Structures are given as structure tokens and as C-alpha cells.
Structure 1
């Protein structure tokens, strides 16, 4: 069954009859879950199994944002609490090799946690730089201020996820760190020149351009395209993300329902696909909005379909058996160094 070029959210812990029928008809490539969708363990497994059944294949992508710290959709008792990325950055300042190992372990342990319920994509690593004076929407979600450290730790986390059978989704291309507004609420406008961005913010994404999937930033970079944010900008997507960064993997939008984007949801979705995004990601579960997204996006075809297929099998192809208890013990030892 051919999918359409979008990823859908759902409203609650169970699918309604309307949602089941709608998703079966409109065939999203995958689904994404948030805190509102996370019930008891059995409920969550049942929900994910039902989404995959609707998707028509065992590998139907079911995404989640599991970063640690503030952005952790699964919490105790469903999964342990983890520190934010900045803690690994602090460890790197003292013991770089220990930090890289801890970052790998974070990804690998996330994979144990998430795969137990049926998740197969994690929207990690967050490769945005920590920038003083910027919005706290990123804040301690950033590993560090230095691009090379962010690339090293983010790359280790991505490899850990893949070793656990999950597909990593790096975010937010070409960099969210300089935003002075929260894109959930407003459209950030970044004044930095393209040369400044190339020398810093873009570097972690370029270093990890072979990862299978990525998410755009709803940010307007005035020196690159003064008229459209990344998600809607062919200039940023083609010239920066595809050419300069060299990323040829699956590119999805950040959540189309965020307030950074203004306008009709269908028209916004058409513009995102026309600009070069492979998938429109819609997260809030609002049926009226989802109908507009689904009605605006095309069938997954051509390069976009090949990228989607590659991302879907990326994690499962790299699954390596491991001793979970031993890895958790190692992780606890390493993270205690910065406790």
C-alpha cells in the first residue's frame, strides 16, 4: 500500500472510529505520539500495534520525542528518567571519551525503552547549538556550544539508537540554536550571516549528513531567505540542507501546527512539499487540520519514497543484541561523574 507524504498525530490514548477510518483512507507514512497519547503500558502497546496495522506493515514508523530532561514523552514507570543533553556536554568538558560512551549508552537505553512498546523512530539527536541569550526552547536540550562536541555526542547517541533497532531523526536543520523566540509560539528570525551559520550552526549537521532522517527548523534566516522560514523555503532546503550540508536523507517538517507558521494548513503543507520537504509532520491530532494536510500532500513517490524506505529499515538493519542490565550499570557509573 503506497503511503502519502505526511506523518500524523492522534488525539488520545485510543483511536476513535473516525481516526481509524481517516488514517486508513489517507495513508500517512507514519505516526507520532505525545504525552497525551501515553497511557498504561498495555494501552500504549495496543495503540502502537493498531497504528502499525493501519499503516499496513510491521515497520510502519511510529515516532516519539525522547531526548531526556524536559523532552521525554515516556516517563516512570514506563521508562526511567534521563538527564538532558547538556549533562553529557558537561561530562565531555571533563572526560570526552566517557561522555561519548555515555551518549551512545543514552541512545541504546532509549532504544530498549522505546522498542518495548513498539516505537521504531526517535526524534534524536538534537544537534542545535547552545547559544547564550537564545530562547530556552532549546536550552539544555543542546549538548554544547561547540559544533564539534555537538556532532561527537549527537553522533554517538544516534549510533546507540540504531544499535537498538531504532531510526534516529536529527533536528532541527539547519540549526535552531540562535532563535530568540519559541517557534511553538512565534516565528523566530535569525540575523546571523550565512557565513556565520556555515562556520558554526551548520557544522554538526554536515558532520552527520549520512543519518537517515531529519527535521526542519521553523526559523527564518534573513541572510539566506528573507521571505520564508526553512520549512517553506526552497532556497534553504536546496542550497543549504541538500547542497551545503549534503543531507540526502528523509526530510520532514517540524510540526506544521506550530504557531511559527501562519496560514491555511493545506496551503502550508503544499508549500512545504513544494519547497523540498519529503514529509509534512502534523502532531496535534486535530482532525480538521489533519484533513487539510492529507488533502494537500501527494503520494510518496520518486526520491522521497526511496528516502522514506531507507529510513524505515535503517534501525532494524543495525540492531545488535546487548546486555541491558550491564549497559544500565555502565550508564549509571558514567553519569554519576557529573551528578
Structure 2
């Protein structure tokens, strides 16, 4: 499991719970953010509770999805802004994508966060479509692959592991999966040529997050996160992803049943790690009762992901930040 917590500090109950159930990792949200010093203390307390340097995740994409915001860190644009830059200068956009990753990694690494749930590889069917529109690098697969690869390399250069999302592709799922289950009726050949391509072709990635989207051409009964057919035939098979697969948050309402049922469904589908984000203690206890011990191939993938953890390159972040601003202002 990867679990959240309720506030800016661990309660005694949370500490005891984490010590007992030993989640593989943790994830932070806005409710957990007060100051940089506080975030660092929180990540240290999380790791102390489980007794090892467990991975700590966050969703830090830029734009609307940023858990750390000004004035704690600089402002970061949405992926769509960098995608728009690509239309005028591919070279400038690729550098901006890299720098966005490198600078965000600098923010995260300094407070003990070593995994970022980014970049987004999802492709909307047309510009501005769906709830992921501004979070996407574009609607052309080649553009998305290029910019997502650059951002992932920037994160790694800053000592932070990227987690690509939302495999095998949320772009055509226009509904907000936090609220309802998106259904995609596109033909399998269309999905292969567009939506699945970035996940198949991006290099050097060791972790991916699933999507809670129903693909009728693959499994008309179960959303991807809870579908053994999608996990085995598409993610592992056609896409060929052999890294660690993490579910999207099982507390999202796209999934049906109570938390225990959702945890069982995700596990049965072959997903390696259950993600539960909202910090609700009763829900975390229910998920923990259903989560199997990390073992076998899933354990090997988890260990391999962390073995590949990069070291920060020691860049001058102030200089990189100035360069990033110049690129965004068209001075590249």
C-alpha cells in the first residue's frame, strides 16, 4: 500500500497504525502542507514510523495539480502551457519540459519527497476536452511522448523518480474519475495508435499509475484499475510495461463497492500497489485488512524501482529558474 495521513503532523494513532501495517510508501496532499520545514519533518516521521527510507509520493504536475504552491515554491504552469510552446518552438518546449521537472524535483527533494506522480501521458481527443485537458501536453502522441520524456528526465536529474499516469490512458475518459466512472468506447486499434502509445514508447520509467476508466473494447465490465484483462493484456502485454504498477486512488468514486471491495478488486486485477489517499483512518484500516503482503514479482518490481533511484545533479537551481522563465516568456 501507499497511504496518506490526515494533517500536517502524524497523530499517535497514525504512527502506531503505520508501524503495525508497514505500508510500502506514503503520499502527501495539500492538507499535509504548511511549510517546507514542516513537510520535511512529516516525511521524516513517516519513515521513522515504518523503520526505513520508504518512498514518499506527491502529485506535483504544475497548473491546477500542485500540492506545493507559492510562496513555498515557485509557480509552475500546466502541461498544456508547455504543449502550446511546442507549437512555436519544439526546442524551447523540450527544454522547458525538462526544466519544469528539474525545478520541481529540487523543491521536492529538499523536503524528503522522492517520487512525483508525473508526467501525465494522457491524450485528450481534442484540445480542451475533458477534465484532464490542461494537464495534458497535447493531442499528438509524438508531442506528448517528447515532452513527457523531457519532464521525466528533469525529475530524475533532480533525484526524484517519476510515476507516469494514467496508464493505459485517461484522455478519452472525459468525466472526472474522482466523481464518476468514465467510459471509453473507442476501438482497440484507435487506442493502440494514440492513447496507449506514450506509455509504450516513453523510455526509462520504473513506476506507473493506473486509470479508473472503463475501456469497452478491452473489458466492458471492469475499469482498468480493477481489470485483470487490462493489466495483463494491455499494460503488461501490448504496452510492455515491466515496472511497478500502482493503482490510482481507490477512494475515488469511479470505483464501486466499499474500500475493502475496491482493494480486493485492484489486487485481483494484478496491480502491484494499492494507493489510498484521503487519510481516513477507518478506510485505511479496511484497505490494510485486504492488502496482501508485498511478495513475489510485485516485491521484485518495487525493489528494482528503488534501486534505480537517481541522485540529484547539483545544478544551480536559481539559474535554471531564470532560464525557465525566459523560455515561458518566449525568450528562448
Structure-2 residue corresponding to 1:331:
324
Distance 2:306 2:166 in 1: 20
Structure-2 residue corresponding to 1:106:
100
- Within the candidate set 169, 172, 179, 1:175 is matched to 169
Segment of structure 1 superposing worse, 193-202 or 126-135: 126-135
Structure-2 residue corresponding to 1:33:
28
1:135-188: CA deviation from partner (whole Å, max 9, x where unpaired): 642011000000110010001100110111101000000100001211000001
Following superposition, the deviation at residue 322 of structure 1 comes to 1.2
Following superposition, the deviation at residue 267 of structure 1 comes to 2.0
- Within the candidate set 269, 283, 286, 1:275 is matched to 269
Measured at CA, do residues 258 and 83 of structure 1 come closer, stay the same or move farther in structure 2, by a change above 3 Å? same
Aligned length: 332
Distance 2:179 2:127 in 1: 18
Higher RCO, Cα 8 Å, sep 6+: 1
- Within the candidate set 50, 57, 66, 2:52 is matched to 57
- Within the candidate set 226, 248, 252, 1:254 is matched to 248
Distance 2:126 2:299 in 1: 39
1:75-111: CA deviation from partner (whole Å, max 9, x where unpaired): 1121111110011111111111111111011100001
For 1:6-21, what aligned pairs fall within 5 Å after superposition?
6-21=1-16
Measured at CA, do residues 185 and 134 of structure 1 come closer, stay the same or move farther in structure 2, by a change above 3 Å? farther
Distance 1:232 1:262 in 2: 10
**Alignment RMSD (CA, Å):** 1.5
Structure-1 residue corresponding to 2:282:
288
Following superposition, the deviation at residue 131 of structure 1 comes to 2.3
Distance 2:248 2:179 in 1: 13
- Within the candidate set 199, 202, 211, 1:205 is matched to 199
Structure-2 residue corresponding to 1:3:
none
Following superposition, the deviation at residue 115 of structure 1 comes to 0.9
SS in 2 for 1:51: helix
Structure 1: stretches of 5+ with no match in the other structure: 1-5
The TM-score with structure 1 as length reference comes to: 0.95
Q: Does 1:148 align with 2:142?
A: yes
Distance 2:189 2:243 in 1: 24
Measured at CA, do residues 338 and 7 of structure 1 come closer, stay the same or move farther in structure 2, by a change above 3 Å? farther
Following superposition, the deviation at residue 17 of structure 1 comes to 0.9
Measured at CA, do residues 237 and 134 of structure 1 come closer, stay the same or move farther in structure 2, by a change above 3 Å? farther
SS in 2 for 1:78: coil
SS in 2 for 1:320: coil
Distance 1:9 1:311 in 2: 20
1:182-219: CA deviation from partner (whole Å, max 9, x where unpaired): 10000011110111100100111101164010000000
Structure-1 residue corresponding to 2:190:
196
Distance 1:303 1:148 in 2: 32
